[in-house]
Chain A
Amino acid sequence: EAQVTQNPRYLITVTGKKLTVTCSQNMNHEYMSWYRQDPGLGLRQIYYSMNVEVTDKGDVPEGYKVSRKEKRNFPLILESPSPNQTSLYFCASSLEGAPGNTIYFGEGSWLTVV
């Protein structure tokens, strides 16, 4: 089944404790992104990647890192999480080529930083 898989789905962590949210897609998509979803603010892009070893900042990159060593994986790293990073995070992928490609989303990762 074609899908985007992210883990963990739910996580409670403490301020300053590094964590990684993994993301994997099996559709051979070139593009991958991370979004955070917050009430009243909608979906905001954190980082995106156009291909292996090619990443760039989205709208709200502060406090986050990403890497794209393999085409299928795009982990999101919080080096020193803070309470304002408590949010619902979505990984997404899309295919290069046609204009305005459909984005495929993961199921989301609920992160709470205390």
Chain B
Amino acid sequence: AQRVTQPEKLLSVFKGAPVELKCNYSYSGSPELFWYVQYSRQRLQLLLRHISRESIKGFTADLNKGETSFHLKKPFAQEEDSAMYYCALSPLVSGGYQKVTFGIGTKLQVIP
């Protein structure tokens, strides 16, 4: 079974402060990890994924297999970062349908 845990439902930070949204996972095989973001009144969209090793809008996330974590980080929060963030996991297997499991989400509130 695969599971994604986001321990914080709400995270409030001041503008300019560092941000860390926590994500832990449980999966016996090799995982692919994602962060999806939902801005107010908009659809969910992919923010970044581990396999791409990219930085989007200043956010980065490192897969730590030892701690089974994929925390999302940004050094300086901006007001436009306020949104709902979902961590997600999919088996890293080629071919066939691979179920994506989402965490419950963390609402990031950036205080001006």
Contacts and interface: CB of A to CB of B under 8 A. Distances in A.
Interface of A: 4, 31, 35, 40-45, 48, 50, 90, 96-103, 105-108
A99 B44 contact: no
Contacts of B98: 99-101
A98 B96 CA distance: 9
B99 A105 contact: no
A99 B94 contact: yes
Contact of B104 (A42, A50, A101, A105): A42
Interface of B: 6, 9, 32, 34, 36, 42-46, 49, 51, 86, 90-100, 102-105
15 contacts: A4-B43, A42-B103, A43-B102, A45-B99, A45-B100, A48-B99, A90-B44, A97-B94, A97-B95, A99-B90, A100-B51, A102-B49, A103-B100, A105-B43, A107-B42
A75 B91 CA distance: 27
A63 B32 CA distance: 31
B9 A100 contact: no
A7 to B, nearest CB: 14
Given A42-B86, A105-B44, A99 B91 contact: yes
Contacts of B91: 99-100
Nearest to A51: B97
